[in-house]
C-alpha cells in the first residue's frame, strides 16, 4: 500500500482534498436544476462507494509498505470497521442536509456556513482525540474562521433580503449539516493504524477505513434519502421511478461528483499519520473557500446582491485564508 510519511506531502494532499471537497457540487450544478438533489444523491453515493473500492484495490494494495487491502481486512477488529462505517453514516446525514441547503441558498453560502461550522467543531473534536500542533495557532485560526462564517451569513442575508427570499431555512439547514459533519472524522481517524506494528493489530489502513466509511454512507442514504424525497425541503415530493428515468449524463455526473469527493476523502485520511487528525481535518475542510469561489465566480450566485455585499465577501475570504495559514503553521511552530 502507499503510505504518506512526510508532512509536506501530507499538507499537499490535504490541499487536494480541500479542492475535491469544495468542487464536487459543481457536478450537480452542471446537470441543472431540473434534476433534484434527492435524485442526484443516489448516484453521488454510488460514486463514493465505487471509487473507495478502486482506491483500495490500487493504492491500497500496491507496494511493500503496510498491509494491502485484503490482508488488512482479514486482520481487522470489527469495532474499527464499525467505527469507520459509523463515521460514514453520520457524515452522510450532514451532507444530505448540506446539499439541501445548497439547493436553497447556493454554494457560496451553504459551504461557508455549514462546512465552516463543521470545520471549526471538527478541529476541536479531533484535537481532543489526539492533541498535536500549537493550540494557540490551531484554535486562533479557528477563531478567525468563525468571523468568516459570520460574514458569509450576513452576505446571504443581504442577498436574500434583496430578492425577497427568507434566509432562515437555507442557513438553518447549513448549520445542522455542520454539526453532523463535525463528528464524522474522529470516528474514522480513531480506527486507523499508524505504524502497522503488532501494537496496532486490529486497526485498519486508511484505504480499508474509506471503504467501510462508504458502506456507512450507502446505508445512510438508503434510510434517510427517501425521507427527503417524500418530505422535500423545497418543491414537490419526488419518486424513485424518476431516478430510473434519468439521462445517462445526469447519472454519470452524479457518479463523478461522488468520485471527486471520495478522492478527497481518501487522500485526507492518507495524511492523518503525518499531519495529525486535527490538522489533516482542518486543512482538508478548508473546502468552503473553494466552494464559495465556485459559487461567486462561476455560478454568479451574488450577481444581484446589493451594495456592500462584495466587501463582506472579500473580508470573508481574507479571514478564511488567514485561518488556513495559521492551521498549517500550528504543526511547525
In a domain, 211, yes or no: yes
Direct distance between the N- and C-terminal alpha carbons of the chain, in angstroms, rounded to an integer: 31
User: What grid cell was written down for 100?
Assistant: 439541501
pLDDT at position 80, please? Answer: 96
pTM for this one? 0.87
Number of separate domains in the chain: 1
Q: Report the phi/psi class of residue 246: left, alpha or beta, with left for phi > 0 and alpha for psi in -120 to 50.
A: beta
CA distance 5 to 26: 32
In a domain, 1, yes or no: no
In a domain, 268, yes or no: yes
In a domain, 314, yes or no: yes
Q: Are 265 and 118 in contact (CB under 8 A)?
A: no
- Which residue range is the domain that position 90 belongs to? 7-330
Per-residue pLDDT of the chain (333 residues; tens, 9 = 90+): 899 988 889 989 998 999 999 899 899 889 988 899 999 999 999 999 999 999 999 999 997 788 999 999 999 999 999 999 999 999 999 989 988 887 787 766 777 788 778 878 888 888 888 888 899 998 998 888 888 878 877 887 777 677 665 467 888 898 899 988 888 988 999 999 977 777 678 999 999 999 999 999 999 999 999 999 999 988 899 999 999 999 999 999 999 999 999 999 999 999 988 888 888 887 787 777 787 788 888 888 778 788 888 899 899 889 988 988 898 889 887
In a domain, 2, yes or no: no
Longest Cα separation, the chain? 62
In a domain, 216, yes or no: yes
pLDDT at position 53, please? Answer: 98
In a domain, 141, yes or no: yes
CA distance 37 to 49: 18
Amino acid at each position: 500500500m502507499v503510505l504518506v510519511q512526510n508532512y509536506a506531502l501530507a499538507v499537499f494532499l490535504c490541499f487536494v482534498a480541500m479542492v475535491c471537497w469544495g468542487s464536487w457540487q459543481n457536478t450537480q450544478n452542471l446537470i441543472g436544476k431540473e434534476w433534484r438533489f434527492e435524485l442526484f444523491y443516489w448516484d453521488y453515493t454510488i460514486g463514493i462507494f465505487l471509487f473507495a473500492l478502486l482506491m483500495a484495490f490500487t493504492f491500497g494494495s500496491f507496494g511493500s509498505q503496510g498491509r494491502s487491502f485484503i490482508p488488512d481486512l482479514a486482520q481487522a477488529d470489527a469495532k474499527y470497521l464499525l467505527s469507520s462505517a459509523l463515521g460514514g453514516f453520520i457524515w452522510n446525514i450532514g451532507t444530505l442536509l448540506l446539499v439541501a441547503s445548497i439547493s436553497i441558498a447556493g454554494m457560496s453560502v451553504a459551504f461557508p456556513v455549514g462546512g465552516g461550522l463543521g470545520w471549526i467543531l471538527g478541529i476541536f473534536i479531533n484535537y481532543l482525540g489526539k492533541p498535536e500542533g500549537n493550540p494557540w495557532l490551531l484554535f486562533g485560526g479557528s477563531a478567525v474562521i468563525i468571523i468568516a462564517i459570520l460574514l458569509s451569513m450576513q452576505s446571504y442575508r443581504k442577498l436574500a433580503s434583496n430578492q425577497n427570499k427568507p434566509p432562515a431555512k437555507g442557513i438553518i439547514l447549513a448549520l445542522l449539516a455542520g454539526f453532523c459533519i463535525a463528528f464524522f472524522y474522529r470516528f474514522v481517524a480513531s480506527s486507523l493504524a499508524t505504524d502497522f506494528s503488532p501494537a496496532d493489530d486490529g486497526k485498519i489502513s486508511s484505504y480499508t477505513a474509506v471503504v467501510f466509511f462508504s458502506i456507512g454512507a450507502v446505508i445512510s442514504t438508503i434510510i434517510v434519502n427517501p425521507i427527503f424525497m417524500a418530505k422535500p425541503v423545497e418543491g414537490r415530493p419526488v419518486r424513485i421511478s424518476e431516478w430510473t428515468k434519468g439521462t445517462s449524463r445526469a447519472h454519470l455526473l452524479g457518479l463523478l461528483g461522488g468520485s471527486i469527493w471520495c478522492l478527497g476523502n481518501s487522500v485526507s485520511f492518507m495524511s492523518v499519520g503525518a499531519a495529525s487528525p486535527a490538522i489533516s481535518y482542518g486543512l482538508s475542510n478548508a473546502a468552503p473557500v473553494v466552494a464559495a469561489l465556485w459559487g461567486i465566480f462561476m455560478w454568479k450566485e451574488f450577481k444581484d446582491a446589493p451594495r456592500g455585499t462584495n466587501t463582506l465577501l472579500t473580508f470573508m475570504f481574507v479571514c478564511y485564508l488567514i485561518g488556513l495559514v495559521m492551521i498549517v503553521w500550528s504543526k511547525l511552530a
